[in-house]
Structure 1
């Protein structure tokens, strides 16, 4: 079969012939139709993600999820191994049937953003109707999805931050109420956050950046001994750096819950709910046009041409097979 394979001595994946996988007792052999290229896939392929080891010397098949056809022809989204190939094996308990009116590219692009938004909002932040939500680094594909899902979950106000002015403006049409540029002076940025927090206390922060921007946001919550609202700060990404400096007084002076959302941070029950309830709901919202998804497609044979491309317009690259 043809597949996208990452070799340790290569910077880009290769389109090569690779042995067809064999399904084990808890797996199903499927025909793959579309797979999104995500930062998660890139880091796993290079062996730099915390959930994997260094690239295998004989090559590592890329992709851990995608749209595929079951042996009976049913079209599903599934979790599996080596999905960026003509054939792959999937976990027989980790797939979701797709609405007929949802195209392959959109169905492949959406789930990772749901993992990176709905799981944090629902299970880590325990979002409630009327909550004020700040999304740090909202201009990417997952951030755009988070804005829409937060609105769907009943957020009363949504504040977004980012560097792309055009994307920040577009987020206001997707459900955001206030945008704050990360390109401005630090003091001006903090002044804006503090002003908003004083007027309508921020209940939830969903953070895709971490690093210096997280330090600034957290400093805006530092209290003075007065009663404070409960703030649920959820780290989901670290595009701006993996570590921060955090004052102990910052933790003691405010009712702050600092947590993360990602592989290893969810319970078995929560993951089961993701497949039984959350993903089906989000696929249906996308199918009826209530969840905006934007993607760019590339054939499997040309995967290397877009592998390192960083899209700044909130789109996701999807490999079609």
Structure 2
């Protein structure tokens, strides 16, 4: 079969012939692929740099960890792959797939779930977001951040604050449900002052962070208390686009009612993942079908993956490889 692979010797992406995948046990099923989204996590896992990557024998890795395809009976499903998904066929786990609604385009169905996972899992299971909460999305101008703004509003956030660098993208977030936007393209002092003003007026209950790095340090400084009682803030790290490590003082942690956690592979319970496939994804697919959840994509046929794989996407779009 044809597939998009990372050559583990050169690090480059290639469109080439590879062996057909085979089912290893009764919990797996083969699907004919229609579309596979390519995300940051797919690139890092394929190259072996992600913390969940495992070393495999051979000279290539098929890219793409999830996508949409057809079962043998013609049912269209979204699924997580046992192996790579940017290929003509893929093997998936039977208990990690969701039927795609008839009215939902398979490109949207392939692109949306990873962002839902990066937003809803943190909001629901790590931050325990409640209706009426004030939610701050740090790094909201990316694809997942835009989805997080919409999901937070759908889950009943009273106020959604979005941070980011791109002025035009920040303006767009106001049309997607954000009540206020704060630019990261200002001095540290000005950014901290804006966060503190918001926090004083309406305590920030939840922070979903896609950046980490320096902006996370600033957020912790903005929340720092002075020995008085403070409202609880649940800070959830989902991404680390701006750096994997930060400086955080113990005094900062002791001065505020702060719950710090992460949301990612390995942090969720089996019950959380079960709810993802039985409740959350079907619900979000229906919202998208009803035009109440909006995303933007860039599509490329599998055979042309080499021409666009290394081209940066702007304005919060997701790259989707199509096969039919």
CA contact (8 A) 1:294 1:314 kept: yes
Q: 1:8 to 1:55 in 2, by over 3 A?
A: farther
Per-residue deviation at 1:302? 1.0
Deviations 1:283-306 (A, max 9, x none): 000000000011010000111222
Structure 1 residue 308 displacement after superposition:
1.8
C-alpha separation in 2, matches of 1:215 and 1:120? 20
Unmatched 5+ stretches in structure 1: none
Distance in 2, Cα, partners of 1:70 & 1:39: 27
**Aligned partners of 2:242, 2:126: CA distance in 1, in Å?**
21
Distance 1:309 1:209 in 2: 21
* Cα deviations by residue, 1:163-213 (Å, 9 ceiling, x for unpaired): 111000000000001111111111111111111111111000000000000
Residue 75 (structure 1) aligns with:
76
Q: 2:298 aligns with which of 289, 296, 299?
A: 296
The TM-score normalised by the length of structure 2 is 0.97
In structure 2, C-alpha distance between the alignment counterparts of 1:190 and 1:44, rounded to whole Å: 35
Do 2:9 and 2:59's aligned partners in 1 also have CA atoms closer than 8 Å?
no
Task: Note if contact 2:20-2:89 (Cα within 8 Å) is conserved in structure 1.
Answer: yes
Cα-Cα RMSD:
0.9
Contact 2:164 2:184 in 1 (8 A): yes
Count of residues in Structure 1 that have an aligned counterpart in Structure 2: 321
Cα pair 1:34 1:104 within 8 Å, conserved: yes
SS at match of 1:188: helix
- With over 3 angstroms needed to count, the CA separation of the structure-2 counterparts of 1:182 and 1:56, relative to structure 1, is farther
The answer on whether the counterparts of 1:203 and 1:229 sit within 8 Å (CA) in structure 2 is: yes
Name the structure 1 match of 2:30: 29
Report the equivalent of 1:254.
Answer: 256
Q: How far apart are residue 312 of structure 1 and its match?
A: 1.8
The question of whether the paired residues in 1 share the 8 Å contact of 2:163 and 2:170 is answered with: yes
Q: Provide the rounded CA distance (Å) in 2 between the counterparts of 1:50 and 1:305.
A: 28
SS in 2 for 1:14: strand
Cα deviation, residue 57, structure 1:
3.6
TM superposition outliers: structure 1 runs of 4+ over 6 Å: none
Q: 184-193 or 303-312, which moves further after superposition?
A: 303-312
1:56 shift after superposition: 4.5
Gaps of 5+ in 2: none
